[in-house]
Chain A
Amino acid sequence: MRQIHVLMVLILAWLLAPLMIHTGGTFNLFIFAFINLILVLGLSLLFGYAGQISLGQAGFYGIGAYMAAIFTVRSGLPPLVGLVAAIIVPAALGYVIGRPVLRLRGYYLAMVTAALGLILHTVFVEWVDMTGGYSGITGIPALTIGPLSARSPVTMYYLSGAIGFIVMLLALRLVDTAYGRAMRTMRESEMAARSCGIPTARLKAEVFALSAGLSGLAGALYAQYVGFVSPESFTIDTSINLLLALAVGGVGSLWGAAFGAFLLTFMPEWFHQLQNAYGLVLGALVVVMLTLEPRGFWGILLRLRDALAGRRAKTA
């Protein structure tokens, strides 16, 4: 299987890269790239594969981050407990909310999930006793798994990378199973899916919960790496950027999602002299890319491959 080969090359590059990285800043970027990877993969499964849009991912991302913070700083439990809670709580909430909300489709779903994201942001701001309001929560301990503690950027690089690769691998597996095919059938036609006996209402809520859980996992990694959470990191802009990154990379492809996640992380760095100008570039990329090729960067690669194959066929 060729996807596995690509993945193995990438894993090798990831393992060896620290030999060439000498600055903490670069490790930093890669860690954020892995966090974004988990977020965009979750969105890709939900939107790209199951066909359910969400503009509220930042809300679940935030819940994960606050769970990791609250369980360790306020309750004094080990970071691993915080990490697990950061997956379970958003996933459970996602399922409960998803069941009724996902009866909506298209724009309605986009707007309602955006509204949910904004409401969750308000909760982060207003529930001062729990979240610390705008000042947030400081002193979140680093992720520790057994003897492994991610206090230094290098350990966190490996830890977040390992989790990122595992999520990617599982997602690639998932979309190839009967479950993944059911997701895609539902995307193409809910009616068709239901007539094949796929319980669409439950399936939608499950995928929504899965993507919420992944967002929560990313939130925990973020909180435990940065050591600080505040509502600013979980605004509607975060949700919009995730969706735009997925659109640029390619809706309907996990590799496209991965590309989008890395682009989203590295772009602010490339344009850092221009403060927030990367928003211009990201927006412009989305507009130009989708006008030319709705499947994004991944779609362009596919067309290139087809064009090359076509030429080879002609010369042969």
Chain B
Amino acid sequence: MSSAEILQLVITGLTVGSIYALVGLGFNLIFNATDVINFAQGEFVVLGGILTAVAVGTTGLPLWLAIAVAIALVAALGALIDFAAISRVRRGSVMTLAMITLGLAVIVKTSLLLWVGPDPLYFDPFTPGPPLRIFGAVLQLQAIWVIGIGVLVMVALKFFFSHSRVGREMLACAIDREAAQLMGINVGATVRLSFILSGALGALAGVLITPLTNATYDQGFTLALKGFAACALGGFGRASSAILGGFALGLIEAASVAVLPSGLKDSVALSVLILALMIRPSGLLGGREERRHTQAM
């Protein structure tokens, strides 16, 4: 394999890896606040891409406005999910909550199928122009957007959690919900905010990647699985491990396409998830233990 091919592989890997990292960070936001894995996280991504494509394609909104509207709508959906369902569950375990998000994922997916149909949707890259060529490798301009905004968001989240009051309250809820409540933190509002942020983050990932891969109604669950794999590779509940895991997964996937039939791409990524969890059930970097138990309901 030539060095140009390897460079190409790294570029592709980092691009998809950023998306997995963003999905993983979305998982982390809700998981930290509630101990719930939001199975609809992948649907947030698809919804972000499809809403933007529809807004650009049918209403002729300028791209930046379409993106803003799409992200706002998905963030609002996140809030609605918490308001209408999650916050109302009084009995049952976190697994009950996870099943509710699974039901929501099916609702979103079916709605998308009925609304826009099974064909992939698409909108133009953020900036037009031919791809760059570096040392023989091709770099799409959109890939620069994906990686650039991805990294920007990751850094912003880091600062949000370490320096802002709200971010630290969220962390407090994650560490000990009861104690946080006793210290006067409004846990309900914090959870609501985590759903809003998670929706926005998911939609952003969808908006970034759609010009490169198109958006189809049924991609959500696979994306969610990969985002989860990103988190699990590093260890759940820590932002840095979702980011590292995301990039690692993206690179592995890109490498697998170079040597194996592309139909096996997802299987390779998922085998990595399974193997990693077999070796270290709490993640390779060691995440925090699941607090409340997540067995049956």
Contact = CB atoms under 8 A, between A and B. Distances in A.
Interface residues of A, number: 51
Contact of B99 (A114, A187, A244, A276): A244
A282 B266 CA distance: 28
B113 interface: yes
A111 interface: yes
Contacts, number: 146
Give chain B's interface secondary structure class. helix
Interface in B247-291: 261, 263-264, 266-267, 270-271, 273-274, 277-278, 281, 290
Nearest to A97: B274
A111 B266 CA distance: 14
Nearest to B106: A283
A167 interface: no
A105 B102 contact: no
Contact of A290 (B89, B271, B296): B89
B97 to A, nearest CB: 8
B297 A115 contact: no
Given A100-B278, A101-B278, A103-B281, A244 B267 contact: no
Interface in A72-111: 100-101, 103-108, 110-111
Interface centre among B96, B277, B297 (most CB of A within 10 A): B297
Given A252-B296, A276-B113, A277-B110, A122 B103 contact: no
Contacts of B222: 118, 236
Interface stretch (B2-10, B174-182, B193-201, B225-233): B225-233
Contacts of A118: 222, 225, 266-267, 270
A294 B267 contact: no
B273 A111 contact: yes
Interface in A264-295: 274-277, 279-280, 282-287, 290-291, 293-295
A300 interface: no
B102 A240 contact: yes
B98 interface: yes
Given A277-B114, A279-B109, A283-B104, A240 B296 contact: no
Contacts of A125: 263
A142 interface: no
B137 interface: no
B100 A286 contact: yes
B293 interface: yes
Give chain A's interface secondary structure class. helix
Nearest to A241: B106
A210 to B, nearest CB: 16
A116 B290 CA distance: 22
Contacts of A252: 296-297
Interface centre among A104, A107, A187 (most CB of B within 10 A): A107
A31 to B, nearest CB: 25
Nearest to A122: B267
Interface centre among A126, A247, A274, A282 (most CB of B within 10 A): A247
A52 B95 CA distance: 11
Contact of B95 (A104, A106, A236, A280): A106
Nearest to A251: B297
A108 B277 CA distance: 8
Contacts of B266: 118, 122
A62 interface: no
B281 A108 contact: yes
Nearest to B40: A283
A64 interface: no
Nearest to B37: A107
B295 interface: yes
Given A126-B261, A276-B114, A287-B85, A107 B229 contact: no
Nearest to B294: A106
Interface of A: 47-48, 51-53, 100-101, 103-108, 110-112, 114-116, 118-119, 122, 125-126, 187, 190, 236, 240-241, 243-244, 247, 251-252, 274-277, 279-280, 282-287, 290-291, 293-295
Given A103-B278, A106-B293, A126-B263, 11 more contacts: A107-B228, A122-B263, A243-B99, A251-B297, A277-B114, A282-B106, A284-B103, A287-B100, A290-B92, A290-B103, A295-B297
12 contacts: A47-B296, A101-B274, A107-B37, A107-B98, A111-B225, A116-B274, A119-B271, A122-B264, A126-B263, A275-B114, A287-B104, A287-B107
